[in-house]
Amino acid sequence: MVAVVVFGGTGFLGRRLVEQLTTEGATVRVAVRHPDPARNILRMAGLNKIDVFGADVRDQASVAAALAGADAVVNAVSAYVEKGGVTFEAVHVQGAGTIARESAAGGIARLMHVSGIGADPDSGSPYIRARGRGELMVQQAFPGSTIIRPGVMFGRGDALFSTLAHMARLLPVLPLIGGGTQLQPVYVEDVAEAVAFSLADPGTAARIYGLAGPKVYALRDLFEYTLRLIGKRRLLVPIPFALAEIQAWLLELLPYPPLTTGQVDLLKLDSVASGLLPGFAQLNIRPKSIEEIVPSYVGRYA
């Protein structure tokens, strides 16, 4: 039985991946900064018997302890806002490097690193740059690592359709940031399946996979699609990026900001598969479209 450590195993993707790996018979250990809330999250997801280990990617000793006895590792940690010592540099660059170095030092066979479409070490955006630099750190420390770059992920409880539907039910007007930005949304369960499949296939080592859904949409189209699903008509007001950045900076002062500067930076760029990297086709997975999935959790009666 394979022992897998998942860093960030209670996140939007992480908890789906934990469920996928458990279903496939793996022994899973979830490594998180706050174990008690993590246990509650996993319990609510029906994952009652998962081993939860307290570890902080910014702390080398705790990472090494979390990896003890593991055969494989998945780094699905993500931070969209910088607060205190939780910075993009600390989490996405140094933290990713620490996991990779300790995995190599421990003789762990496989390392999966979850990044994102558009990750670029030369970007002017601190968030996007950290994602890109993190990939480089991982590849240098663990040359056989597999990099997974998903597009904007959707699924029940997502930050895209679920949030839009909630806002549209409350507000007569919806702010539209980057309405012309092109997105290729990908179902979170498909990404979890791809990570689990790649983990079990040695042929995916030292490769980068771009995972995107079957269709490309403008962001405005996704707003309008969501409104149709919930049966609402709302005015869409375009918001310039400069104003959105100010709003996001102020909202980041909240405990759970609905918008961050990192998300605004992402909306400035198209999130579409380049076609230059292997993807779902090479993993024998058919990605599901938003039309197949979103109505099940966003709609008049969902």
- Token pair 């490769």: residue: 207
Average pLDDT taken over every residue of the chain:
95
Residue 215 and residue 248: Cα distance in Å, rounded?
A: 28
| pLDDT tens string 137-169 | 999 999 999 999 999 999 999 999 999 999 999
State the pTM of this model: 0.95
For residue 21, pLDDT beyond 90: yes
Q: Tell me which architecture the domain covering 3-153+186-212+272-286 has in CATH.
A: 3-Layer(aba) Sandwich (3.40)
Residue 255: per-residue pLDDT:
84
Report in angstroms the alpha-carbon separations of 259 from 115, 153, 181, 265, 283.
20, 16, 17, 11, 33
| pLDDT tens string 41-91 | 999 888 888 999 999 999 999 999 999 999 999 999 998 889 888 999 999
Residue 294 structure tokens = 């979103």
Helix, strand and coil percent figures for the chain, each rounded to 5: 40, 20, 40
Tell me the pLDDT band of 221, cut-offs 50, 70 and 90. Answer: very high
For residue 285, pLDDT beyond 70: yes
Least confident of 38-42, 120-124, 298-302: 298-302
Q: Which helix H or strand E contains 131, and what residues bound it?
A: helix 126-141
- HEC string for 236-293: EEEECHHHHHHHHHHHCCCCCCCCCHHHHHHHCCCECCCCCCCCCHHHCCCCCCHHHH
Residue 16 and residue 254: Cα distance in Å, rounded?
A: 27
> Is the CB of residue 74 less than 8 Å from the CB of residue 7?
yes
Q: Which helix H or strand E contains 6, and what residues bound it?
A: strand 3-7
| pLDDT tens string 95-144 | 999 999 999 999 999 999 999 999 999 999 999 999 999 999 999 999 99
Residue 287 and residue 33: Cα distance in Å, rounded?
A: 32
Residue 219 and residue 222: Cα distance in Å, rounded?
A: 5
Residue 301: per-residue pLDDT:
66
Displacement of CA 289 from its chain's centroid (Å) = 18
Tell me the pLDDT band of 258, cut-offs 50, 70 and 90. Answer: confident
What does DSSP say about strands 3-7 and 72-75: parallel, antiparallel, or unpaired?
A: parallel
